[in-house]
Chains A and B, each alone.
Chain A
Amino acid sequence: NAGVMQNPRHLVRRRGQEARLRCSPMKGHSHVYWYRQLPEEGLKFMVYLQKENIIDESGMPKERFSAEFPKEGPSILRIQQVVRGDSAAYFCASSPKSPGVGEQYFGPGTRLTVT
């Protein structure tokens, strides 16, 4: 049973470009969470999605950031017009259809570098 997959593992973008980060949850999981880890900081919650629904996006920056989890395919975190401050590790986690508390399984992360 494959774990949570994230790709790419490393992504380099120039300022002003777009970054697309993908997350494939574990088989049978229909809940996805995105977290961002800035250098020297802990992980910060960004958004919680179920298939075709955004449940909680209270941690998402108001501009340039969006997330989706379509009926088919991976969840996508999209960052438009990236800036140097977006450089961070972005982690995705998934949980089962009826998640028990704390049953989040994390992917290995995507490390975004903005030059």
Chain B
Amino acid sequence: AQSVTQLDSQVPVFEEAPVELRCNYSSSVSVYLFWYVQYPNQGLQLLLKYLSGSTLVKGINGFEAEFNKSQTSFHLRKPSVHISDTAEYFCAVSDPSGAGGGNKLTFGTGTQLKVEL
């Protein structure tokens, strides 16, 4: 079975500072990896995804993530955050060989990013 661990439940950071949100996964098979963002009272929005190929993935809003197979990690980074980045961020994993062709997602518990002035 797959699982996702987001160790940091909250991450406070000052505006224009860099940020890294950590995500580790466990799986015995190859995986697809995702980061979603949830703004208050809204649904989740896909930030970026790793399916194969380059381990550095660039997403929307200036975010990027790096897939590290040996450390089973997929940390999300942004070099300079903005107040509007305040939201909850979810890491997710799926099994490419599973039902739905990799669309059945297993989510972490989320990290609340709070950007302060």
Interface residues of A (CB under 8 A from B): 3-4, 31, 33, 35, 40-45, 48, 55-56, 58, 91, 93, 95, 99, 101-109
A103→B34 CA distance, assembly (Å) = 11
B92 contacts which chain A residues (CB < 8 A)? 43
Secondary structure of the B contact surface, majority rule: loop
Closest chain B CB from A84 CB (angstroms): 21
Specify which of B44, B103, B110 is in contact with A101 (CB 8 Å cutoff): B103
Interface centre among A4, A99, A104 (most CB of B within 10 A): A104
Can you offer 25 A-B residue contacts whose CB atoms are under 8 A?
Answer: A31-B100, A31-B103, A35-B105, A40-B109, A41-B109, A42-B90, A42-B108, A42-B110, A43-B107, A45-B105, A48-B103, A48-B104, A56-B99, A91-B43, A99-B103, A101-B49, A101-B51, A101-B103, A102-B46, A102-B103, A103-B46, A103-B103, A106-B43, A108-B41, A109-B43
